[in-house]
Structure formats: C-alpha cells, structure tokens
Structure 1
Amino acid sequence: MTKPESSKKESNEETGTKSEPPDDPQTNPSPTTAKDLFADFAPDESDSSDDDSGKKSENYEPASKKPKDSSKKYIPKYKKEWESKPELKSWLSESIHGNTYFYCKFCKKDYRCGISDIHKHMSSKKHTLRATMPEFRAQKFKFRGLLCPVFTPFVAMKSVAPNVNLKAVPKYANFLSACGVRGILVNDVVGEGMSLTIRERIDIADAWADVCEKTNQFLMVQIGGAPLKDVVELAKHAAKREVGAVVVLPDLYTKPKNHLDLIKYVKLVSEFTRNVPILYHHYPRYTGVEIDIGAFLLDIIGEVDSFVGVIYSTNDIQQSMAAAAVNREKFTIFMGTDEGILGAAASGFTCIMGTSLNFLPKLVESICEAVREGNLKAAQTSQNLLIKTIDVVLKEGDSIAAFKAATDIITGTCGTTTREPLQTFWDGTIKKMQVKLRELGVM
C-alpha cells in the first residue's frame, strides 16, 4: 500500500533527505553560452594538477565543476600583464570561463586563478611533461596586403569533370607576382574547391606551395566544405607543407546553428593543423550560415590558440569593422568583396581579398595606393571603373564562370573551363565579353 503524499513528506523530514525534483527543461536548459558548451573541454578531476604530496589542490578543479559559494573570501582575478612574464608568456592565456580562471595552452585546460596558483601549476608534473613535448609555438599572423582567391585551371575538354591542369600554375603565379599580388588563396569558393576531389585539392596545394617558394608569395589553403574526415586529411597536409595559413568554411551539410557550434568545429580541425594559423571564411550568401562574428571572436579566445582571423565576404563594412574592433592584437579581418575595396581601404583595413585581383590587380592596387596617399578622387575613379568592369562581366552569366572567363581573356593564365555544375562559357559569349572589356579600356 502506498503512502499518501503527506506521509512521504513527513518521512523525508524525519530522515533528513530531500526528494529529487523531476527533470525540467526550464531548470536544465541546453548550453547557450561558451562556458556551458566548453564544459566538455574542461579538465576532469583526474587531470587536475597534483602537488608534491600527490593530493589534488582545490585550486585546480575544472571551471565547470567548481561549486558556487558567495560566502567565500576574495578570489584572485586574472591579470593580462601576467602573460608578459618570461616564464609564463609561452603558455598562459585568459580563460573562457571568466576572470577567476586561467587557461594553460600546454595542458589545454582551465584552472582557478591567482599568481601563486599559476606558479604551482607551472611546477606540476602534468604541466612539466607537456612543456617538454615538441615546442609549442603561438602563431602570429603577419600577412598584410592583397589576397587573391585563385581559380583552378582545368584542361580544356568536353567533360562534366575536366582534369586539373597543374602545368598552368607557374605562369599564373608569376603573372600575379609581377603585378604585386603577395597573397594567394587556393581551393576556396572561387577555386571551385568543393567540386574537387581530396586528391585534386592536395595536388593543387602542392603545386602552389612549390611555386610560391620561388615567387615568395604567402600561400593560404582553404580546407573546409567537405566531410570532416576529408577536412582532417587536408589539415594534416597543410601542416606538413607548412603553408602560411589555412582557411575554413563551415560544414556545408550539418551547418552550425550558432557561433558556439562553429567554435567547436574549428577546435576539432585545429587539432590537426598543428601550428598553422587558422582563419574562418564568413560567406553567408554562399554557405547559408549567418552567425554573430563578434560573439564568435570573443568566445574563441583561449579555445583555439592558432585561430587568427576572419575573411569577411559581405558588403557590410560596418559589421566587418565591428568584428575588427573585437581584438585587434589577436585577430586579422579581411574585407573580401570587390565592391567594397575603396570603403575597406578608407576604413583602415590592411588585408583585402578580391576576385578582381585575378584579372585587374593593378587597378585594385591603385585604389589602395590612392587612399594611402590621400587622393580620394583618384581612388573613386578607379573603384568606379572596377565596378563597371564587374557589371559587364557578371551580365554574361554565373559569377565564378564569368570572372574566370574575364581572367583568361585579359591574362591568358587560367583557361575558361569550369567543372559542373558550373557552366563553361561558349566561345560566342567569350568574344562578346572581350569586345566589351576592350570598350572599357581594361585590356
């Protein structure tokens, strides 16, 4: 016979026990903050630093497990200047869990804060072991200037999947180098990277890596837009070739729902890129992923040490400027639209990506140079000519196929052939575009 509710209550009071409340989604919400999400990355109790007696110090409990107690005495807070101390600067960082914790880059964990706690952790067995592993190098992204997202040359043939023409790469690279383009991005959207096999993407990266060593160009390789297993292989290859940086698009099938999902994805990929700097390509019109870049940059601090910035392929300069202001010391923001080159240069962006660098690099450079010299009228004249040229090119068809055709018409470097589902321009369309480009005076 079951007891009535009142009897159960009296029984609980007599025994000193409390009844368990039922699970309630309102009282147990799903993770909504970086702290909640990255509780999985916090150290287990078994990973906490040990003192000389072999007992765990309470100071090294993981941030996600430390009980809250408002009656505790003053808790030391993290100070940014600690990172400049010679014995700490190679591994100490601020924590995503708040200013009462610090993050160890060697151990990949968050611990309770205080300078004495930091030194105690530094002398722990776990940290000492990690410190003796192959040298950790915190990356500084040093590239500044114009970045060209290059096309993938294909062998001209009637096929839905024409072969990659690697022999065209040296001539292509030499042309861009002669025009002063110092940054190269391969296998991105413009390069039809998502239409290529993993073997083809590796071969293209190798071909550009070899030639960039001779031309002294800075090579960036886009490794995303593929199943995670393939992304891992591309990441390992980029690390092996020691490219200048890797660029990551989000997963294009299981798309991140928010910036925390994206951080988790970038963190997974970073495990295989070693010390190669990582950037995220924010291209919502193509990927369909629209996230808060400001929140993303704030919450990725301390989680992925090799993450260095964002390529911002939207026409919203105000949003890109807000992203650039998050942390100018840690992150580099590329403005990545041709229509916004003048606005980006005038707004102080030192890194600009534009597809038009493939066929009008000198015109793009003239915009940036005129801004630097304070000649706004000349910059506007060059930008207007660039926009007119882009309008003429895009009237003929799909943007990638059209820009690729314009590039080959003007420079003769990459061919006009594209891979399905993109449609290669017919000879008649190419001749029509050639006439219009001559009328504009850009060739």
Structure 2
Amino acid sequence: MTKPECSKQEASNTKSKAEKDSQISTPETAKALFADFVPEESDSEEENEKQDDKKDENLEPASKKSRDSNSKKYIPKYKKEWENKPELKAWLSESIHGNTYFYCKFCKKDYRCGISDIHKHMSSKKHALKAAMPAFKAQKFKFRGLLCPVFTPFTNLKRVTPDVNLKAIPKYANFLKACNIKGILINDITGEGMSLTIHERIDLADAWADACEKTNQFLMAQIGGAPLKDVIEMAKHAAKRDIGAVVILPDLYNKPKNHLDLIKYIKLISEFTKNVPILYHHNPKFTQVEIDITSFLLDITGEVDSFVGVIYSTNDIQQSTAAMAVNREKFTVFMGTDEAILGAAASGFTCIMGTSLNFLPKLVESICVAVREGEIKSAQTSQNLLNRTIDVIAKQGDYIAASKAATDIITSTCGTTTREPLQTLWEGTTKKLQCKLRELGVM
C-alpha cells in the first residue's frame, strides 16, 4: 500500500472511530441529556444534612415514584396500632397516600412504611430537630350558634366596580348583634369575596375585626377562591389579626380532582395560618367540586392539625349528618342551607349558617328555639314562612343580588349595590320586592 493510501485509510479509521464514539455518548433519555449539568453539592451545610439523613435513605417521600411494580420485594403496610406506642404517639399518623406510607406530624412529610423505617426516621437528626421545636397547639373550635355570611356594602356610585363602603360595617355588626347573631363570615360567596381584590378583602377583615371586638362576635374570614399567592397573603393576615377562624373554598380554576387533592391544598395553606382554625366550605353548586365529605374528613385526620370542620351548603341532610358523625370532638359541621334549617336543628346540628340571617335573623332563630323546646308545629310554620320568603326573593333575579336588596329593604344595613358581573337589582324590581315582602308580613 502506498503512503497516500495509508494516510487515507488511517483518516477513514479515525473518522469511523469518532462516529462510533459519538453514537455511544449520545444520551438516550432526557435525564441522561442533563446529567452533565447537575450541580455538585459542595456546600458544607448541604453535605452535613445529606450525611445526617442517611438514616432516612430508605424512606422515600410519597411524591416520588414507587418501586417497579414487577418487584417481588415485600412492601410493609401501615398498622393503626403503631400510633399507640408511647414513643410514636405524638407524631405518627397514617398517610393520605395509602397504607404503604406513614405521615410524620413533626416533619410534615409522608414516607414509605415499615416499623423499622419508622424507627430509623425517628432517630434521624432532622426529625429530632423538628421534635424539639415548640409543639403546635391547635385551638379548639368552640363556636356554636348562628353564623351569618354577611354582604359586602358598596358605595352607591353608578360604576362597574363600586368602592367598598367600610363605614357601613359598625351599624351592620350592631344590628346582627341585637338579633343574637354570634358569628360573622366575611368574603364568602354571599359577600362577593371573589369579586374583591386582595387588598379589599384584607381591609374588610380589619374593619369587621374592629367591629366584632366591640360587639363580642366571633369572626370568620373566607380566604379561598383566589390565586394561591393571594390566599397565602390572606392566611398570614388572618393569623396576624388573630381572626377566629378561616374558611377555604377550593381553587376555582385548577379545581381539585378528588378529596386527596383538596387535602393537599388545605395542607399547603395551613402552613401560613399558624394556630387559626380552618374550615372548608362545601358548596358544589357554586364551585363545581363534588367530593365525599365523609371520606375527606376521615383522610384529613392527622394531616392538618388546625383543620376543624366543614360548612355544608347542600340540601342533603343525610350526607351532612353522616359527616357530622365522623368525629364530633374534632370536627364541627355547619348546615349552610336556608331551606334545611328545620331539618338541621332536628338532626342535632348546633352550628347553622344561612343567607337569610341577614334579613330574617329572628325568624331563623325562632325555628331553632322551637325545635329545641319540642314545638315542632311552630318550627314548621316558621320554616314555611322562611321558604316562601326565599322563593319570592329568588324570583326577582340573581339570588345574591335579590337577597342583598331584601336585606337593605328590611334592615337598611348593606345597601343594594353589587359589583359586576352581578347585576344590582333594578329600582323598579326592588320596589316590587318590597311590596311582596309586605304581603308576606316579614316587614
């Protein structure tokens, strides 16, 4: 072979080898593609934490993928009796992710299960540090009675977004106090909370907190139905103002697919509410979120220490009663439907919420008192009158706008103005409603 031919052959071999090496080093997966860009953990603190948590190396967080389903390795399952062991009782709980995980109340995480894994986690430095922190003391939810979801007063200026009228709140609070209403719920569906800015909702919370301090009424603030960042800000504010309780609606755009998704959402928010009790408002007609409340209450047990109950705004007495029976000591269930007040009182509900408490609070109270005293016929008469009034109001247009108009007609407390997209009741319709209410004898 001549010298030029040898050079040509060597070049060809070199090229062939380069192509082969290139093929071998080409990443086959996205993970391999970015392998070279993974930062090294050079920070000493991170390295120390990594070494310290070596005892947790077999305790995979619940968010990670499970082992190969084809693996024949035995996977231990959670046993409820483990919670009775003295060394585990304070922090161990079952997980929402299934019986192959356990939940640590101190670390606020789910781990793979097994009694040996539990003891390994307990002996880790991370767990010890969490255990040494001041213990969370959940405030026991003591409120019992009638809860009024108040309207938001607006100025009467004819504009698309009228301003919130904070000056009307003291009079509003005094009227409800005079009618024996012990609890106030602000920024909920009735209060057009989702049409308010975060600053307006916080200003309302401050104004109502000042008013309720003078009237000695229990204040609850609905903080959901908004972007998560805003929800967290309102949660922090509620904790700072020491508001009696917060109520959460689900995210109205990224709706939870099931009750476990909802628990994760509430659990996230609870990190910012501190010791403020949390309730969930179950109103599927408004939120389009259908979940089994009984399963929800069973699975949230041990996951969120500050969670104390549910406002149940449906007509299903059977399901709401079943939810009330889950854990009477830990969870409070409100009946939140006006038409079901008699049934709720007769079924043993001690907490009732209804929009009608804004305009006919004494009538609602008379239903509860009559049931308590065994005067069922009197209770039925009052409930029938309430239902007829609600029916008349509902026929005038949007129920919230019409109820707000009825409240102002009867009590002169909140004005008739609503904020778009709700339509304020037309003046002629308001006069017609006034005549109908007079005919019913409720004013």
Q: What's the TM-score, normalizing by structure 1?
A: 0.79
- Contact 2:392/2:436 (CA < 8 Å) preserved in 1? yes
Query: Structure 1 regions of 5+ residues with no counterpart?
Result: 1-45
Shift of 1:385: 0.9
Equivalent residues in 2 for 1:276-287 (5 A)?
276-287=276-287
Please identify, of 298-307 and 229-238, the stretch whose mean Cα deviation from structure 2 is larger: 298-307
Equivalent residues in 2 for 1:227-238 (5 A)?
227-238=227-238
- Contact 2:281/2:310 (CA < 8 Å) preserved in 1? yes
> Which residue in 2 is equivalent to 1:259?
259
Closer, same or farther in 2 for the Cα pair 1:74/1:353, shift >3 Å? closer
Q: Percent identity?
A: 77
Equivalent residues in 2 for 1:76-95 (5 A)?
77-79=79-81, 82=84, 91-95=91-95
> Which residue in 1 is equivalent to 2:27?
none
Amino acid at match of 2:304: V
- Per-residue CA deviation, residues 147-199 of structure 1 (Å, 9 max, x unaligned), is 11000000111111110000011110111111111111100010001111111
- Contact 2:55/2:121 (CA < 8 Å) preserved in 1? no
> Which residue in 2 is equivalent to 1:432?
432
- Contact 2:238/2:246 (CA < 8 Å) preserved in 1? yes
CA separation in 2, counterparts of 1:422 and 1:172? 22
- Per-residue CA deviation, residues 361-389 of structure 1 (Å, 9 max, x unaligned), is 11101111111111111110110111111
Please identify, of 392-401 and 161-170, the stretch whose mean Cα deviation from structure 2 is larger: 392-401
Closer, same or farther in 2 for the Cα pair 1:258/1:92, shift >3 Å? closer
CA separation in 1, counterparts of 2:171 and 2:377? 34
CA separation in 2, counterparts of 1:309 and 1:72? 38
Please identify, of 188-197 and 285-294, the stretch whose mean Cα deviation from structure 2 is larger: 285-294
- Contact 2:139/2:277 (CA < 8 Å) preserved in 1? yes
- Contact 1:145/1:182 (CA < 8 Å) preserved in 2? yes
Number of residues of Structure 1 aligned to a counterpart in Structure 2: 392
> Which residue in 2 is equivalent to 1:56?
55
> Which residue in 2 is equivalent to 1:379?
379
Closer, same or farther in 2 for the Cα pair 1:442/1:238, shift >3 Å? same
Secondary structure at the counterpart of residue 341 of structure 1: helix
Q: Greater helix share, 1 or 2?
A: 2
- Contact 2:76/2:114 (CA < 8 Å) preserved in 1? no
Amino acid at match of 1:299: D
> Which residue in 2 is equivalent to 1:42?
none
Secondary structure at the counterpart of residue 56 of structure 1: helix
> Which residue in 2 is equivalent to 1:155?
155
Shift of 1:422: 1.2
Closer, same or farther in 2 for the Cα pair 1:339/1:57, shift >3 Å? closer
RMSD of aligned C-alpha atoms? 3.0
Closer, same or farther in 2 for the Cα pair 1:174/1:157, shift >3 Å? same
Amino acid at match of 1:326: V
Secondary structure at the counterpart of residue 442 of structure 2: coil
Equivalent residues in 2 for 1:9-408 (5 A)?
56=55, 77-79=79-81, 82=84, 91-96=91-96, 103-110=103-110, 112=113, 124-408=124-408
CA separation in 1, counterparts of 2:293 and 2:78? 31
Larger Rg: 2
- Contact 2:103/2:110 (CA < 8 Å) preserved in 1? yes
- Per-residue CA deviation, residues 343-366 of structure 1 (Å, 9 max, x unaligned), is 111111111110000111111011
Query: Structure 2 regions of 5+ residues with no counterpart?
Result: 1-47
Please identify, of 194-203 and 326-335, the stretch whose mean Cα deviation from structure 2 is larger: 326-335
Q: What's the TM-score, normalizing by structure 2?
A: 0.79
> Which residue in 2 is equivalent to 1:14?
none
Closer, same or farther in 2 for the Cα pair 1:73/1:95, shift >3 Å? closer
Shift of 1:260: 2.2
CA separation in 1, counterparts of 2:377 and 2:396? 30
CA separation in 2, counterparts of 1:205 and 1:81? 40
Please identify, of 179-188 and 132-141, the stretch whose mean Cα deviation from structure 2 is larger: 132-141
- Contact 2:342/2:383 (CA < 8 Å) preserved in 1? yes
CA separation in 1, counterparts of 2:160 and 2:362? 34
Please identify, of 116-125 and 338-347, the stretch whose mean Cα deviation from structure 2 is larger: 116-125
- Contact 2:56/2:120 (CA < 8 Å) preserved in 1? no
Please identify, of 430-439 and 62-71, the stretch whose mean Cα deviation from structure 2 is larger: 62-71
Closer, same or farther in 2 for the Cα pair 1:76/1:168, shift >3 Å? closer
